Homo-oligomer: A and B are copies of this chain.
Amino acid sequence: MEVELKAMLDDLNVLEKSLSDSAPIHKLRSHVENLVALSKCNPQRRSKVKELSSEVVDSNPYSRLMALQRMGIVENYERIREFSVAIVGIGGVGSVAAEMLTRCGIGRLLLYDYDTVELANMNRLFFRPDQVGMTKTDAAVQTLAEINPDVVLESFTMNITTVQGFETFTSSLKNKSFCPTKEGSGVDLVLSCVDNYEARMAVNQACNELSQTWMESGVSEDAVSGHIQLLVPGETACFACAPPLVVASGIDERTLKREGVCAASLPTTMGVVAGLLVQNSLKFLLNFGEVSPYLGYNSLKDFFPTMQMRPNPQCSNAACLERQKEYMLAKPARDAAAKAKMEADAVVDDENEKDTTKASSSSDTLPEGLTRELPVADEYEKAIAIGSGEAEEEEEDDLEDLKKQLEALNAA
């Protein structure tokens, strides 16, 4: 549009010189100027910020996030700008997860999808009808960049289950240019928001190879239940150790996502799963609350099962077995660190002896005048934790154990 308007002004200038009466040209020029003004009163975009401010003014997009520090929930919110999160699958869960992280001011987002936006996607949040026909990655970048220009967005329009796609995927995860001093891979967390078995196995393979912590999410085909799960290579079960449906019901998950079968979906279930997923991610990245190893959501009964899954020593994934070995070898160092931390905490407890009501962590206290809306979970029986218990017993479990847990879980 700018190009056309500029060309018209040039043409008008030329025409004016050949005319005796320049009044009609003046009139035309004023129209063009009005059009220029109209084309500029386009979407107001906010400029990037240098530092997150906690100033309480309407114009500060971060005031309500920085307030998490003042409320004692997060120790250092601003660290969020250093983190890179990769989201695989920008559908009903992934797109909302991306929007949530963008609005939280995450440092960098890497987005992977090969699909295009369709009207049939409009029953879930995020995409708009005017984006129909765009790739999901392009449409997501368009929307997210407008919402928060501070976030570095990288999009990959490709299928990670192809040989070429998998290579691009792993090398993009390894790229450290955003934060060269970071330990491990180039990203802090991978979120799997895909809807099929192959893609989950591809994410699992890449994360096992890179020793990359990731979170898996899923929503059932009948749209009324879902789950999130934390996977730490070597420390927890990987997706190949125990893909829940395959192991427990004997049904191959690959047959569940079929071409031509139209799964139901709801913006509510997808929104809740995305919210739980990103909340767990924020707790993991910003170090507050308790990171859930597994959290289910059965919306028909508002039932939220939790469990822990340890790795399968007979896992078919070679990279998983390598990570398990490394994790075992690091046990003495881990125990020593835990002991040192416990002793340090004990010293702090002694110093805080005056506060006899509770040995509270910083997130358990609230500023004066505030009261929790909900009870602290410890005061009630905990939601049933399925699984054989504490991490310390880690030598005891085996495939049979895992199978039994999962059979019980799936016996619906």
A interface residues, Cβ below 8 angstroms from B: 1, 4-5, 7-8, 11-12, 14-15, 18-19, 24, 27-28, 31-32, 34-35, 38-39, 42-46, 56-65, 67-68, 70-73, 96, 99-100, 103-105, 118-120, 122-125, 128-130, 132, 146-148, 218-227, 244-245, 249, 251, 255-256, 260, 262-269, 271-272, 274-276, 278-280, 282-283, 288-290, 292, 295-306, 363, 366, 369-384, 408-412
Residue of B at shortest CB range from A37? B4
Q: Are B304 and A375 in contact (CB under 8 A)?
A: no
Which of B7, B64, B219, B295 touches A31 (beta carbons < 8 Å)?
Answer: B7
The 13 sampled A-B contact pairs (Cβ below 8 Å) are A1-B39, A8-B32, A11-B24, A67-B223, A71-B222, A103-B122, A103-B267, A122-B148, A283-B299, A297-B374, A302-B304, A303-B383, A305-B374
Q: A1-B38, A99-B125 given. 10 additional CB < 8 A pairs? A: A59-B118, A63-B262, A71-B264, A73-B222, A125-B125, A227-B373, A244-B373, A268-B279, A375-B411, A375-B412
Q: Are B100 and A268 in contact (CB under 8 A)?
A: yes
Q: Are B288 and A292 in contact (CB under 8 A)?
A: no
Q: Are A264 and B65 in contact (CB under 8 A)?
A: yes
| Bound form: Cα–Cα A57–B295 in Å | 33
Known interface pairs A28-B8, A103-B125, A412-B379; A371-B130 also in contact (CB < 8 Å): no
Q: Are A225 and B373 in contact (CB under 8 A)?
A: yes
Q: Are B130 and A45 in contact (CB under 8 A)?
A: yes
Q: Are B46 and A363 in contact (CB under 8 A)?
A: no
Which of B7, B269, B411 touches A275 (beta carbons < 8 Å)?
Answer: B269
A57 CB to nearest B CB, Å: 7
* Interfacial chain B residues near A63, Cβ < 8 Å: 120, 262
Known interface pairs A45-B129, A147-B122, A221-B370; A410-B375 also in contact (CB < 8 Å): yes
Q: Are A61 and B123 in contact (CB under 8 A)?
A: yes
Q: Are B119 and A61 in contact (CB under 8 A)?
A: yes
A247 CB to nearest B CB, Å: 12
Known interface pairs A4-B38, A123-B65, A372-B225; A304-B305 also in contact (CB < 8 Å): no
Q: Are B371 and A249 in contact (CB under 8 A)?
A: yes
Q: Are A298 and B374 in contact (CB under 8 A)?
A: yes
Known interface pairs A63-B120, A72-B222, A147-B122; A377-B275 also in contact (CB < 8 Å): no
Which of B104, B274, B382, B411 touches A266 (beta carbons < 8 Å)?
Answer: B104
* Interfacial chain B residues near A218, Cβ < 8 Å: 373
| Bound form: Cα–Cα A14–B28 in Å | 11
Residue of B at shortest CB range from A255? B369
Residue of B at shortest CB range from A8? B31
* Interfacial chain B residues near A408, Cβ < 8 Å: 375
Q: Are B279 and A372 in contact (CB under 8 A)?
A: no
Q: Are B382 and A381 in contact (CB under 8 A)?
A: no
| Bound form: Cα–Cα A376–B323 in Å | 34
A384 CB to nearest B CB, Å: 5
Residue of B at shortest CB range from A409? B375
Q: Are A282 and B266 in contact (CB under 8 A)?
A: yes
* Interfacial chain B residues near A299, Cβ < 8 Å: 279, 283, 289
Known interface pairs A290-B302, A299-B279, A304-B304; A99-B267 also in contact (CB < 8 Å): yes
Residue of B at shortest CB range from A9? B31
A360 CB to nearest B CB, Å: 11
Q: Are A410 and B100 in contact (CB under 8 A)?
A: no
